């Protein structure tokens, strides 16, 4: 058990940051695990346990703050579940170099979103049938990347709710954490059925992520968002560059 203790602070840091920006903490956990030589499926499945734990803590705290749009969140969550099942299955066949390159692309897109999130402006809610069809497709896709990469899918859900549906950022990030609770749970179950996770590692990450979720949801209204966005963007960019370098070294 002692060899896994370093996963506690990793889960905590990922939980704090992930809770505040609504993405879950997988975009921090998974790169670090892969740097330590974890296989793609092991890193993703362990990370989903942490994402689930983090989303429970964050949702409980955000619910008390009345910042979750349950009706919208439930619709998007239910549509994402088939995608998480598919994501878990296809993660079995990916090679480490390919996984690292694909994940680097996800990190870059997440970094762009985080850096530009202040410029996203909410408007009047738009829940037309046409938009909900688009939202359904986006949610299914978010489910796939959630389970495949172990990141939760918040990088799709938050921009979708803010830019397309018109939800305020104050409500979108908490609602995303509510959605991630379902997406992470279904992905976690499928990865477990397929025998991917290490439960000791996943447990340590989950404990840290739960505590981080409680702290992050409380800090979300007080933290200097500009500095947080800049710092996280730099971390994501550095991680993406390292993943690409490692992937190229593995290919050649």
Q: What pLDDT is attached to residue 3? A: 81
Q: In angstroms, what CA-CA distances link 108 with 152, 165, 181, 199?
A: 16, 24, 24, 29
Per mean pLDDT, which range of 75-89, 162-176, 222-236 is the poorest?
Answer: 222-236
CA atoms of 114 and 234, how far apart (whole Å): 11
Asked if residue 61 lies in contact with residue 217, where contact means CB atoms within 8 angstroms, the answer is yes
Half-sphere exposure of 154 (CA within 13 A, CB side): 35
Query: Could you report the per-residue pLDDT of 202-251, keeping only the tens digit for each?
Result: 999 999 999 998 898 888 777 766 776 677 778 778 888 888 888 888 77
- Higher-pLDDT residue of 124, 140: 140
Asked if residue 9 lies in contact with residue 205, where contact means CB atoms within 8 angstroms, the answer is no
Q: How confident is the model at residue 45 (pLDDT cuts 50, 70, 90)?
A: very high
Average pLDDT score over residue span 82-88: 93
Q: What pLDDT is attached to residue 70? A: 94
Positive or negative torsion for Cα 9, 235, 60, 226:
positive
Mean pLDDT of the chain: 84
Average pLDDT score over residue span 7-12: 94
- Higher-pLDDT residue of 146, 153: 146
- Token pair, residue 77, equals 């969550």
Query: Could you report the per-residue pLDDT of 103-131, keeping only the tens digit for each?
Result: 888 888 877 776 776 555 555 555 666 67
- Token pair, residue 193, equals 């059925």
- Higher-pLDDT residue of 190, 130: 190
Q: What is the pTM of this model?
A: 0.84
Q: What angle do CA 233, 94, 183 make, to 5 degrees?
A: 60
- Higher-pLDDT residue of 166, 91: 91
**With pLDDT > 70 as the criterion, what percentage of the chain qualifies?**
89
Written in H, E and C, the secondary structure of the chain is CHHHCCHHHHHHHHHHHHHHHCCCCHHHHHHHHHHCCCCHHHHHHHHHHHHHHHHHHHHHHHHHCCCCCHHHHHHHHHHHHHHHHHHHHHHHHCCHHHHHHHHHHHHHHHHHHHHHHHHCCCCCCCCCHHHHHHHHHHHHHHHHHHHHHCCCCHHHHHHHHHHHHCCCHHHHHHHHHHHHHHHHHHHHHHHHHCCCCCHHHHHHHHHHHHHHHHHHHHHCCCCCHHHHHHHHHHHHHHHHHHHHHHHHHHHC
Place of tokens 């499945």: 45
Displacement of CA 111 from its chain's centroid (Å): 13
Cα diameter, the chain = 53
Q: What pLDDT is attached to residue 126? A: 58
Q: Each residue of 71-82: b (16+ CB within 10 Å) or e?
A: ebbebbbbbbbe
């Amino acid at each position: 058990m002692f060899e896994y203790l370093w996963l506690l602070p990793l889960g905590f840091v990922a939980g704090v940051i992930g809770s505040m920006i609504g993405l879950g903490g997988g975009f921090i956990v998974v790169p670090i695990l892969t740097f330590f030589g974890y296989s793609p499926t092991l890193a993703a499945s362990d990370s989903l346990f942490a994402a689930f734990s983090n989303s429970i803590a964050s949702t409980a705290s955000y619910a008390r703050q009345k910042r979750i749009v349950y009706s919208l969140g439930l619709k998007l969550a239910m549509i994402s579940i088939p995608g998480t099942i598919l994501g878990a299955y296809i993660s079995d066949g990916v090679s480490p170099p390919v996984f690292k390159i694909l994940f680097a692309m996800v990190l870059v897109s997440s970094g762009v979103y985080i850096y530009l999130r202040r410029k996203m402006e909410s408007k009047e809610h738009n829940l037309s049938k046409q938009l909900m069809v688009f939202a359904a497709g986006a949610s299914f896709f978010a489910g796939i990347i959630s389970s495949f990469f172990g990141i939760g899918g918040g990088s799709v859900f938050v921009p979708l709710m803010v830019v397309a549906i018109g939800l305020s950022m104050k409500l979108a990030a908490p609602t995303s954490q509510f959605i991630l609770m379902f997406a992470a749970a279904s992905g976690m179950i499928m990865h477990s059925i397929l025998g991917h996770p290490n439960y000791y590692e996943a447990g340590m990450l989950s404990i840290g992520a739960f505590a981080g979720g409680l702290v992050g949801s409380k800090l979300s209204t007080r933290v200097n968002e500009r500095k947080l966005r800049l710092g996280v963007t730099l971390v994501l960019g550095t991680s993406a560059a390292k993943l690409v370098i490692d992937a190229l070294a593995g290919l050649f």
